[in-house]
Structure 1
Amino acid sequence: MCLHSPTNRRSDMAVDRARIAELVRELIVAIGEDPDRPGLHGTPERVALTWQEFFSGVGEDESEPLSHTISVSHGPAPETVPSGAVILRDVHFRSMCEHHLLPFLGRAHIAYLPGDDVVGLGALPKVVEILAARPQVQERLGEQIAETIAVKLNARGSLVILDAQHQCVTARGGKQVDASTVTIAARGELAEPAARAEIIALIGRGA
Structure 2
Amino acid sequence: MGSYRFFEEYNQPVTDDLKEHYKGILERIGEDTSREGILNTPERASKAIQFLTSGNSQDPAEILKSAMFSEDYNDMVIIKDIELYSLCEHHMLPFFGKAHIAYIPNGHIVGLSKIPRVVDVFARRLQVQERLTHDILECINTTLNPLGVAVVIEASHMCMMMRGVQKQNSTTTTSGFRGQFEKIETRNEFLKLIASNLS
Q: TM-score, normalised by structure 1?
A: 0.85
Distance 1:162 1:46, change over 3 A: same
Deviation at 1:189, TM superposition (A): 2.3
Distance 1:136 1:15, change over 3 A: farther
Matched residue, 1:200: 191
Runs (5+) with no aligned partner, structure 2: 1-8
Matched residue, 2:69: 70
Question: CA offsets, 1:41-97, max 9 Å, x none?
Answer: 11100101111111111121011221121112xxxxx4xx3x421011100010010
Matched residue, 1:6: none
Matched residue, 1:163: 154
2:14 alignment partner, one of 16, 36, 40: 16
For residues 182 and 88 of structure 2, the distance between their equivalents in structure 1, rounded to whole angstroms, comes to 26
Deviation at 1:174, TM superposition (A): 2.0
Matched residue, 2:6: none
Deviation at 1:15, TM superposition (A): 8.6
What is the number of equivalent residue pairs in this alignment? 189
2:164 alignment partner, one of 173, 179, 203: 173
Matched residue, 2:141: 150
Q: RMSD of aligned C-alpha atoms?
A: 1.9
Runs (5+) with no aligned partner, structure 1: 1-10, 73-77
Deviation at 1:12, TM superposition (A): 4.8
Matches within 5 A, 1:116-127: 116-127=107-118
